[in-house]
Amino acid sequence: MIAEVWAGLLLGIAGVVATNVDNFLVLVGVFGTRSGSRTAVRLGFCVGALILLVISLIFSFIGELIPIRFLGYLGVIPISMGVLELSRQDSSTARAQSRSGPASQGFTKSVVTVSILTLAGGTDTFAVIAPLLAESQSIAVAAICSGYVIAVIGIAALLGQAVSHPALVNPLRRYGPKIGPVVMILIGIYILLNTATDSFPGP
């Protein structure tokens, strides 16, 4: 049980981090030249990411209606997304770097803008987290959600610093687009293999 909790925490953290590299770069590109944006960016990202978690949880409840022998096939979703990201990583990175900031706006509008950007770029996050939750038992679901929240808080804190110091994201800009899709593929393989073992009765 302890191993399952730790695995859930690590999978939740890895799933969020791996699928939010582009979001991170876009938000820094949009808000990096603006002063006073740190709190709005942090809060907006958290709101958007938590909405994605709620949507993923709703999907996982629907997943309970799917026979367990079919749940493993949900792993094909993050694998496909990872392969797709690898195939288009050059163009997506270029798009992230080419985004220009919006006109100056108030705090509330900035939070809403960041939330919408996070949701718009959250398709891959949903593609990883939702199948992972759907094929997991209750204790693992709680652990995955905890890891998800921990990762979101960590990314939000880093976003606040990166908005003030955009140069801090240069290593992420260089290596993130290559590592993220690989992690997505590995999580998809984990879903496929783990669900296959769940379908067999225990001793």
Q: What is the pLDDT of residue 60?
A: 81
- 8 A C-beta contact, residue 45 and residue 27: yes
List the helix and strand counts (H, then E) for the chain. 9, 0
Mean pLDDT computed over 58-75: 67
What is the tens place of the pLDDT at every residue in 73-96?
667 777 887 787 777 765 544 444
pTM over 0.85: no
For 122, list phi and psi in degrees, rounded to 5.
Answer: -95, 10
pLDDT(187) > 70: yes
Range 150-172 average pLDDT: 77
pLDDT over threshold 80, residue 110 = yes
Q: Where are the alpha helices (DSSP H) in 36-137?
A: 38-63, 68-71, 76-98, 107-120, 123-134
Asked if 111 contacts 43 with a C-beta cutoff of 8 angstroms, the reply is: yes
Return the half-sphere exposure (C-beta side, CA atoms, 13 A cut-off) of residue 191.
31
